[in-house]
Amino acid sequence: MPELPEVETTVRALRPHVCGQTVSDIVVRQPKLRWPVPGELAELVRGSKVANIERRAKYMLFAVGSGHVLIHLGMSGSLRLSVAGEPPGPHDHVEFGIGDKWRLRLRDPRRFGTVLWVAGDPGEHRLLRDLGIEPLSGGFDGTYLHRASRSRKVAVKNFIMDQRIVVGVGNIYASEALFQAGVNPKRRAGIISAKRYGRLAECVRSTMESAIAAGGTTLRDFTSGDSSPGYFKQELQAYGREGEPCERCAGVIETCVIGGRSTYYCKLCQR
């Protein structure tokens, strides 16, 4: 679930329920995530208010007390609010009491997610300091991509998934944006023209915006235990559509592996 649009959707959904509320307690059932959940987390945040929730790349930053709780959903994570009293699921590894009404739970079967405490400036944190530009920010455009890609030999799909270049683009939206832009995902990043990067940047942006508008794929229902599948899946034109007709030409969606990740594209109209 968690690429930029899903993380953004999560943050927007949580804010009205969580901001201004006091963290009453923390339960860590499984501290072995991507990195160990800090043992002192509970005493650091218990009794403090959540002042704000922000997103940077695919990370969420909860401003609590004197610092921030940094959360990444990894491959299989989701954050959901349950009403207090509802029993946790088998993969609800970390849980925050929010006020006296809610439980905020990190559910993450594969445990690639992250829950860390950041004491200082989050922008200086080692996980955040080298991150690239936000694709929905003003500075993200074809000129930026073109300049950053010169002499790069990686496939353009890997290039736009590189979080040091542009953040938030994961395996699904990389295929989608390249499909919309008519750019072959295997093409070397360094030989693509500025004009084509202009179109690609627009397509990355519009794909993200459409997905956010569709509500992402997580956290549709706060009070129920499981989340609904989300609407954007219906709008995918390339990802997961192997063998189906291309929506933009007479071709057929094919699949290949780039950088170890499955990739969907149309050989005919993506050059």
Partner DNA sequence: ACGAAGCCCTGCAAGC
Partner DNA sequence: TGCTTGCAGGGCTTCG
| Residues lying near DNA in the complex (CB under 7 A) | 1-3, 6, 32, 34, 57-58, 72, 74-76, 90-91, 109-112, 127, 151-155, 158, 161, 163, 170-172, 189-190, 216-218, 230, 259-262
By C-alpha distance, which of 83, 22, 37 is closest to 225?
83
Annotated active-site residue in 2, 122, 135, 185: 2
Residue 27: name the closest of 10, 13, 15, 39 by CA.
39
Q: Minimum distance between the CB of residue 250 and DNA, rounded to whole angstroms?
A: 26
- Residue 16 CB neighbour total at 10 angstroms: 8
Q: Which is nearer to DNA, 98 or 192 (CB)?
A: 192
Task: Choose the catalytic residue: 3, 6, 8, 95.
Answer: 3
Q: Which residue has the tokens 């499909």?
A: 179
247 is catalytic: no
Going by the DSSP 8-state scheme, the letter that residue 263 receives in this structure is E
The alpha helices in the chain, defined as continuous H runs, are: 4-18, 41-45, 142-149, 156-161, 171-181, 194-213
Name the minimum Å distance from CB 258 to DNA.
Answer: 9
User: Judged by CB, which is closer to DNA: 175, or 270?
Assistant: 175
Does the annotation count 186 as an active-site position? no
Q: What is the smallest separation between the CB atom of 163 and DNA, expressed in angstroms?
A: 5
Nearer to DNA, 25 or 221 (CB): 221
Q: Is the dihedral of CA 77, 13, 61, 58 positive or negative?
A: positive
User: Is 31 designated active site?
Assistant: no
261 is catalytic: yes
**For residues 72 and 98, which CB has a smaller minimum distance to DNA in the complex?**
72
Q: Which of 34, 58, 157, 196 is catalytic?
A: 58
Q: Which amino acid is at 203?
A: C
204 touches 134 (CB < 8 A): no
Please list the active-site residues: 2-3, 58, 261
